[in-house]
Amino acid sequence: MDELLQQFLIEGPELVQQAGDALLALERRPDDPALVDSAFRAVHTLKGSAGLFDFPPMGLVLHAAEDLLGAIRAGRRAVDRDTVDELVAVIGQTDRWLAAIGSTGTLPEDAGAAAARLVATLRARLSDGPDHPASAGGVPPETDAAWIRTLLSSQGDAALPDGGTLVAVRYLPDRNCFFHGDDPVEIARHVPGLVALRVALQDGQPDLAAYDPFACNLVVELLSSAPLDEVQAAFRFVPDQVQILPVTVPATPAGDGPAGRSTPEATSRSLRVDASRIDALAEIVGELVVAKNGLAELAAQLAGGLDARAAATALADRHATFDRLVGRLHRAVVSVRLVPMTPLLRRFPRLVRETAASLGKEVELVVEGDEVEVDRSVLDGLFEPLTHLLRNAVDHGVEPAEQRRRAGKPARASLRLVARQAGDHVVIEVADDGRGIDPATIRRVAAERQVMGSEALASLPDDAVLDLVFRPGFSTASAVTDVSGRGVGMDAVRTAIGQLGGKVALASQPGLGTTVRLTLPVNLVLAKVLLVSCAGETYGVPMDSVVETARIPKDRLLPVRAGLVFFLRDQAVPLLPLADLLHVPGSVERQEDQLALVIRAGPNLVGIGVDGFLGHTDVLLRPMTGLLATMPGVLGTTILGDGRVMMVLDPVELAG
């Protein structure tokens, strides 16, 4: 892809975010000219950048938004909620278009129609009223556009811009237009950039006996390659008699046509990295080169007859050097992949606002944790699950204003999106002050949908009942809406977070609100693991999951019911053999001490019994895929130095 376009796809989302933040703040401070200037500058820059590429629908919409913001700057328009809504809709559409360009290299097929609707709304707002069809430059969504397809199909490929945008016009002159001094054909002939022109009869061939030569019975349809504003200007005296619509012409597939035109390639993923981190990587690479040269020198000494003891000592020294450098390289690569969560978190205030408006609710989103950094792959995978959670919170969690008043709550609901660092993990919470989740309602819906038997439901504790909302297809919504009710959402959240190596927890109090907590690793790719043996196999356990290791004398293991416990600094800790957790045959009863990993499962410590500790290593973790993606207790696999494949376990999930 062209480097200029790649740069646009990097800077475009930042400009979208700048405009969105300014518009949302402008709603609270409508008299702040700095906010208007900030939104105007961002939209103006976006429009100019879009004009460098073949994305006319985006340019048309941003041009109209720029005009409206310019009118606000000049004091010709006041800032009200409806105006902000329309401008926010433009920013949201631009954001979606940028995502489409990034994935496919082009705008969606419906970009022209979407642009026409947005331009129509903005032009009407700029004209202080909706009754300006020509200025709107669009047609209602339900308009039959078969005439446009007919015009396009009647033209040869050479007459149409490949993958570009034309302006389609349908002109239905008034029956008495001749008495007004209008000549429909002459008006059409003066449209700039005329590509196609079709003149037909509105009512078909009339009865000659009833023919009225003074009544206009024409319909004029045309295509123009000129900018929308110039086409609108040509019909400025007959604005109530035309429909104007930007139309995207599909691009010729690669290899088709005489020139073999090709479509833009999808953009590659990009990452902005601080220069100091690149410098640190370069320094480590330099030291690795020196260490590699040292191996060549050692090889020459061995060839010259270096004795075995000296060779072993030299190899150990070289290994220690490489171990130190690889550790530094590990940390440096992790730091390069770490990106702040700011761009992600700042996308959600606009989404929550649009969702709440569509449901007739008032919701304020508070975002905290912009400074938290996570791995780029984790950040990329968080948008969809967080979108599900926030939309569900607005739809299911937050009550309508009247219900909140009756419950003694403020009419405006509060929704919090908080990210914080917790060791090698990041914790993200989505919390609302809404109606909460009633376990009795979950039990009733689960019984109606036969999720499990009535007796089993009755015996479940409330926290386990709440976990049923993560079952596929489970929904308490009474009706399907554009926001929710289709039974896809919470199960999709758990699946998506699980694929990122994270966990989802739900807590709720009826009448007070609901909190969904996501716990994810900061770094998804590179991990430091402790190697343990169990039943003759080697497994890896992330070092950050282990509180400590312990050697427990046999006489310190105490039987409790069907299990064992031991005391660690006067605290009773249950012991769970790893072989039992993995459902593999355990080792033969031995007389020596029991080795255990001490982990924290919730607020409690748990010991996991293993056969031995084999050291630690840095690994490239590959998540499980396909049917194994949802395997409980397994984070992924890695390849050991001897070529064996090793499973990396999640001890917290195994311990339950």
Beta bridge partners of 394: none
Look at residue 477 in the predicted model and tell me its pLDDT.
56
Tokens at 148, concatenated: 């446009």
| DSSP H or E stretch at residue 112 | helix 111-126
CB within 8 Å of 134: residues ≥ 6 apart: 232, 235, 236, 238, 239, 240, 242, 244
Beta bridge partners of 542: 529
pLDDT, greater one: 283 or 270: 283
pLDDT per residue as tens digits for the range 102-121 = 888 888 888 888 888 888 88
Look at residue 428 in the predicted model and tell me its pLDDT.
92
Distance CA 20, CA 23 (A): 5
Mean pLDDT of 54-71: 84
CA dihedral 80, 85, 86, 92 (to 10 degrees): 150
Mean pLDDT of 496-517: 85
Look at residue 50 in the predicted model and tell me its pLDDT.
79
Tokens at 580, concatenated: 């039992």
Chain centre to alpha carbon of residue 433: 25
Share of residues in the chain with pLDDT > 90 (%) = 9
pLDDT per residue as tens digits for the range 314-337 = 888 888 888 888 878 877 877 777
In single-letter form, the type of residue at position 7 comes to Q
Least confident residue range of 53-67, 127-141, 444-458: 127-141
Look at residue 29 in the predicted model and tell me its pLDDT.
86
Look at residue 267 in the predicted model and tell me its pLDDT.
41
Q: Check whether 134 has a pLDDT greater than 50.
A: no
Distance CA 56, CA 62 (A): 10
Within 10 angstroms of residue 55's Cβ, the number of other Cβ atoms is 25
Could you tell me the sign of the dihedral formed by the alpha carbons of 219, 225, 226, 229, in that order?
positive
Q: Check whether 504 has a pLDDT greater than 80.
A: yes
Distance CA 331, CA 157 (A): 56
3-state secondary structure of 574: strand
Per-residue confidence band for 156, with pLDDT thresholds at 50, 70 and 90? low
Look at residue 300 in the predicted model and tell me its pLDDT.
86
Q: What angle, rounded to 10 degrees, do the helices at 33-50 and 3-28 form? A: 160
Could you tell me the sign of the dihedral formed by the alpha carbons of 207, 208, 209, 211, in that order?
positive
pLDDT per residue as tens digits for the range 585-627 = 865 555 578 999 999 876 788 999 999 999 888 787 777 766 6
Q: Check whether 489 has a pLDDT greater than 90.
A: no
On average, the pLDDT of the chain sits at: 79
Look at residue 269 in the predicted model and tell me its pLDDT.
55
Distance CA 444, CA 454 (A): 9
Look at residue 655 in the predicted model and tell me its pLDDT.
81
Mean pLDDT of 182-207: 83
pTM, two decimal places: 0.56
Judge whether 263 and 105 are in contact, CB under 8 Å: yes
Look at residue 524 in the predicted model and tell me its pLDDT.
61
The string of DSSP codes covering 584-651 is: -PPPPP-SSPEEEEEEEETTEEEEEEESEEEEEEEEE-B---GGGGG-TTEEEEEE-TTS-EEEEE-H
pLDDT, greater one: 53 or 581: 581
pLDDT per residue as tens digits for the range 95-104 = 889 888 888 8
Least confident residue range of 81-85, 498-502, 592-596: 498-502
pLDDT, greater one: 251 or 517: 517
Q: Check whether 268 has a pLDDT greater than 90.
A: no
pLDDT per residue as tens digits for the range 390-411 = 988 998 889 998 889 988 999 8
Q: What are the distances in angstroms from CA 513 to CA 416, 477, 493?
A: 11, 17, 19
Look at residue 331 in the predicted model and tell me its pLDDT.
76
Per-residue confidence band for 255, with pLDDT thresholds at 50, 70 and 90? very low
Look at residue 271 in the predicted model and tell me its pLDDT.
64
Mean pLDDT of 430-441: 88
Q: Check whether 418 has a pLDDT greater than 90.
A: yes
Within 10 angstroms of residue 587's Cβ, the number of other Cβ atoms is 17
pLDDT per residue as tens digits for the range 196-248 = 888 888 766 666 777 788 888 888 998 888 888 788 888 877 777 888 877 76
Distance CA 532, CA 610 (A): 7
